[in-house]
Amino acid sequence: MTIERLSRRGFAGAIGAAFGAALLRPAMTEGLDTGAPSNRGPICLNANENPYGPPEAARRAIAASAADGHRYPDDLAAQARRALAARHGVAPEQIALGCGSSQILHMADAAFLEPDRSVVAAEPTFEAVLAYADVLRSRAVKVPPTPDFRHDLPKMGAACDAKTGVVYVCNPNNPTGTIVSGDALAEFASRVPRSTTILVDEAYADFVEAPEYRSAVELLPRAPNVIVARTFSKIFGLAGMRLGYAVASPEVIRTLDRRASWDNVNAAVLSAALACLGDPGLVARRRKELNDTRRWLCAELDRDGRRYIPSHANFVMIDVHGDVEPVIRAFRDRQILVGRKFPSMARWLRISIGTPEETRAFLAGLREIVPARQAA
C-alpha cells in the first residue's frame, strides 16, 4: 500500500506565473504494510509533528466551522490577526497569515529575491527557502555550522552583501535542534545590511526552555528588515490543517500579503487556531509533555554511550556511525518512519519525539539496528 502525505518537508512541482507551488513530502511511507504490526499503521517520527494532535477545543471548533463553510472566513482571519498580535505584543497590521509557515517563507522569497540576488543560509537547515530561491534562479550561499552544530552567524553575516536579498536563520534549527541566543541574533541583525531581509524561522520556538533564547520579534522596533515566521503545525498540533504567520513591520507585511494567494487560509484552521490561542496553558502543557519525553530519550542515549546533538526542539539528531540510509530502511521494516537523510550530515539520524510509547518503540528498534557497542 502506498501512502502519499503532504508536508512542508518535501518539495516538487513548479511555481508558475502567480508563483504558486505544489508542496509534496517525499514518499516516506511508500511500500509500507500499514496493517502490521498493528491496525494503527506505522509510527510516524519523521516530520516533527505533534503526536498528541490539536486539543479537544480545537477539534470541536473545526467541526463547528462546517456550519459556515459557505462563507469566506474574512472575519475569522481578522480575529486571528488580532489574537496573534496580542500574543506577540504588536499591532494587527504586523501579522500576515499563510497556508502553513512554508507559505510565509515562499512569500518572503517572492518579495525579496530575484535572479541577481542571493540567499544566505546555514547548511544544513530547513530546505524550503532554498528550494523556492532555486525556482527564482537566485544564488544560494550555504554556510557550514560551528563545531557544535549552531548557525555560524559571524560567517553568515560576512556572506551578506549588497546583492543578498534574504538571509535565513532557522532558530531552533531544523534538523540540528540547536539555537542561537537572543544577544547573538541582535548582534547579527546590527551587522547585516539593511537591504537584506533577515528571515527568522521560529517554527520550534515554543519548545525552547533555554533562558538565553529570545524571539526575533523583539528586534522589530530597531530592525525593520526582520521577518519572523511562526506556525501552528508544531506545538499546537495542527500540521495537517496548515496555518502559519509572519510578524514584521506593517510595510513588510503589506509586501508579503501582495504575494499571498487570495483567501489563503480556511475557516476550519482559523477556528482551531483561535481555540488554541484561547487556552493559556496549552503551550506549557505540550512543551512539558514533549520535552520530558525528549529528555528521557536523551538520558537513554547517554546510558548507551551514543552521540547526539542536544536539542531545543521536538526532535533529536543521533550519530549512527555510518550511512543513515540503511538505518532508515531498517526502521521502515519495523513500521517506524524516521527522518530523511541530510547530505551534509549523512551519518546523523533525525528522530521526531513521539508519545512515550512511540519513543520507547523507536529506542528498542535503535538498539537492535545500531547496537550500543557499535555506537560507542
21 falls within a domain: no
| Residues 295, 267 share a domain | no
Check residue 212 and give its pLDDT: 98
6 falls within a domain: no
| Residues 133, 63 share a domain | yes
Q: In what order do the strands lie in the sheet with 197-201?
A: 95-98, 244-247, 226-231, 197-201, 164-170, 118-122, 139-143
Look up the CATH number of the domain holding residue 353.
3.90.1150.10
pTM metric for this prediction: 0.89
| Separation of alpha carbons 128 and 24, rounded Å | 11
35 falls within a domain: no
268 falls within a domain: yes
| Residues 71, 219 share a domain | yes
Residue 141 β-bridge partners: 120
19 falls within a domain: no
Check residue 239 and give its pLDDT: 98
| Residues 77, 104 share a domain | yes
Check residue 372 and give its pLDDT: 83
Check residue 375 and give its pLDDT: 57
| Domain end among 247, 262, 277 | 277
| Domain end among 261, 277, 293 | 277
pLDDT tens over the chain, length 376 residues: 333 333 344 433 333 333 333 333 333 333 333 333 344 689 999 999 999 999 999 999 999 999 999 999 999 999 999 999 999 999 999 999 999 999 999 999 999 999 999 999 999 999 999 999 999 999 999 999 999 999 999 999 999 999 999 999 999 999 999 999 999 999 999 999 999 999 999 999 999 999 999 999 999 999 999 999 999 999 999 999 999 999 999 999 999 999 999 999 999 999 999 999 999 999 999 999 999 999 999 999 999 999 999 999 999 999 999 999 999 999 999 999 999 999 999 999 999 999 999 999 999 999 999 998 765 5
46 falls within a domain: no
| Domain end among 277, 310, 337 | 277
| Residues 189, 318 share a domain | no
| Residues 221, 269 share a domain | yes
Number of domains the chain is built from: 2
| Residues 180, 87 share a domain | yes
Check residue 254 and give its pLDDT: 98
| Residues 231, 358 share a domain | no
Check residue 2 and give its pLDDT: 32
Check residue 374 and give its pLDDT: 60
98 falls within a domain: yes
Per the structure, the complete domain to which residue 88 belongs is given by: 56-277
| Residues 155, 84 share a domain | yes
| Residues 311, 205 share a domain | no
Look up the CATH number of the domain holding residue 265.
3.40.640.10
| Residues 353, 307 share a domain | yes
| Residues 334, 269 share a domain | no
359 falls within a domain: yes
